[in-house]
Amino acid sequence: MGRRFLAIAVVGATFLGGDVSGHAQPLRTVTLQEVKPLIVKRERVRRPGTQPGTLIATVRAGRTVAVRTAPGGSVVAHLSSRTEFGSPRTFAAAPAANGLRVVTTELPNGRLGWVAGAGALRLSRSAFTLNVDLSARVIRVRRGTRVRRTIHVAVGAAATATPVGRFAITDKLAGAGYSAVYGCCILALSGHQTNLPPGWTGGDRLAIHGGSTAGAISTGCLHAAEADLRYLMRAIPLGAQVTIHP
C-alpha cells in the first residue's frame, strides 16, 4: 500500500470497511513479571494492570523488529521505527511467550503478530482506549473505566460495513496533505477493508477522519466532526487500542 491509502469517493471518501474473524476481545491485564524481560535496564515503566488501557510498544529509532506469526514462526515483516506515512511505529500489545503479541497492519484483521522486541522496543502504557459502537454510531473515549467523551460518527454503509474487531491507531495525519474531503485530521487504524466496492482504486486501510456524520454512508471509515477529530489528535496516543463492535 502506497501513500494513496486515502482515495476520494463519492459520499465522503473512505479507505476502510470490511469484516474480521470474530468479535473484539480486550487486551488481558498483564503483570510486571511478564513485562520485565522486555524492559531495558533502568527504564521506568508504570506497573501494568493497575488500570485499564493499552500496553504500547514503540520501535526505537534506528531499530528494526521482525513480526512473526508465533514464537519461532515464520516472519511476516521486518519493520523499522517509522510507518509508511512517517509516524513512529507503535503496536497495541500484550505479553506472550517471552515476547509480545501485537496488533499490526501487516496481518489480516483479527490476527495478532508476535515480536521478541528485547532492546528494540520501548514500552509504555496509556489509560486511553476507544470503543466504537456501530449500532449507536458513537465512539466512546475511555480513560481507565470512565467515559471522557462520546463522539457521534458516520459508519460504513450496508454494502461496505465497517469491520468489527480489535485495532490500534497507527498514524495521526493532517487531512490537507491528502484531500479536503478528509477534513482537518486523519487517524489511521491498523485494520483493513476486505469488502471494497467494485472499481475501487484507493487503499484498504481503515481510519477515523472528517466527512458527513449523517448515518451509515461511508465505505467503511468512521466520519467525525472537526472538533472531535482535533480532540482525538491531541488526546489519544499512537498505539492506543480501538475496539469496534456491532
Write down the residue that cell numbers 486501510 correspond to. 205
User: What tens digit of pLDDT does each residue of 150-204 get?
Assistant: 999 999 999 999 999 999 999 999 999 999 999 999 999 999 999 888 888 878 9
98 with 83, same domain: the answer is yes
Structural domains in the chain (count): 2
Contact 190, 167 (CB under 8 A): yes
Say whether both 56 and 145 belong to one domain: no
Question: What are the pLDDT digits (tens) for 37-91?
Answer: 433 333 344 444 445 799 999 999 999 999 999 999 999 999 999 999 999 999 9
Nearby residues of 175 by Cβ (< 8 Å), 6 or more positions away: 182, 183, 184, 185, 186, 209, 210
**How confident is the model over 7-30, as pLDDT tens digits?**
323 233 333 333 223 333 333 333
| Residue 19, domain member (yes or no) | no
Cα separation values, 36 from 50, 55, 77, 154, Å: 15, 13, 25, 41
- CA 58-70-114 angle, 5° bins: 5
Residue 15 placed within a domain: no
Q: Which of residues 69, 104, 126 is at a domain's end?
A: 126
The reply to whether 5 falls in a domain is no
